[in-house]
Amino acid sequence: MIALVPSLAGAQDAWDGRFRISVNGGGQISRDVIAQAFTVQKNLEPAPVTFDVDRAMDVWFDGGIVARIHGRWSVGAAVSFATRNTDGHVGAAIPHPFVFNLPRPIGGTVGATRTEIAVHLDAIYRVATRGRLELNVSGGGSIFNTRQTLITDVAYADAYPFDTATFASATTTRATATAGGFNVGADATWKRWRRVGLGGMVRFAHASKTFTADTGNSAASDLGGLQAGGGVRFAF
């Protein structure tokens, strides 16, 4: 017992060091729904075009550092990266080449990519420590930089007598949006080894921004979402 107590105390002292580094992986569930609606000129008439991308789960990674400042209080900074590849639905009404006010509906799918990098600056409070388990809660500001696939035009195929048209493809662009928001979260760490632990975290981060593809062609969207995952913790 005499030999064991200093060993456990040393392990605890290591975890009570000033800095922590965390590396996490998991998923981000987003509330964002991209809904584009704009018009282009086809056959001397306006052709309304829509593009809708449903919400989905992103692949998410996160890394951060925490510095203890006093008692149970710490400050932290983290960078998260989320990416998603999914299909969006394109719809349009193509005017008839010979008859005015006789639109022909077309529809199809286009691949849409979303990438999001966010920086989170937080105040952190250690709620409880029980044995090897430690629980912290956090909150603060977030800055998001997001790139989203949008469309700017559609291509179609038709043939005489031109009563119908078929979707062929869409011209896409990567629109970028930067916005500030907030985040709140919780982190639980199991102190498995002297300076290395295993942990799980959940964070809700949010901001709103409008993506612009072209003049008169934009779409509003939420940024961030519910982030959850786990990984490794290092103390020093």
DSSP E strands: which ranges in the chain?
19-29, 34-42, 45-53, 57-70, 73-94, 104-130, 133-157, 166-190, 196-214, 217-235
Share of residues in the chain with pLDDT > 90 (%): 81
pLDDT at 16: 63
H or E element: which one contains 5? helix 4-15
Residue 76 pLDDT > 80: yes
Ordered by where they begin, the domains of the chain are 4-235 (2.40.160.20)
Residue 8 pLDDT > 50: no
Average pLDDT, whole number, for the chain? 91
In three-state secondary structure terms, 160 is coil
pLDDT at 136: 96
* Mean pLDDT value of segment 96-110: 96
What is the C-alpha separation between 42 and 217, in angstroms, rounded? 16
pTM of the model: 0.87
CB contact at 8 A, 212 and 196: no
* Mean pLDDT value of segment 63-85: 95
Cα separations in angstroms, 59 against 85, 108, 109, 116, 161: 10, 26, 22, 10, 47
* Mean pLDDT value of segment 128-141: 93
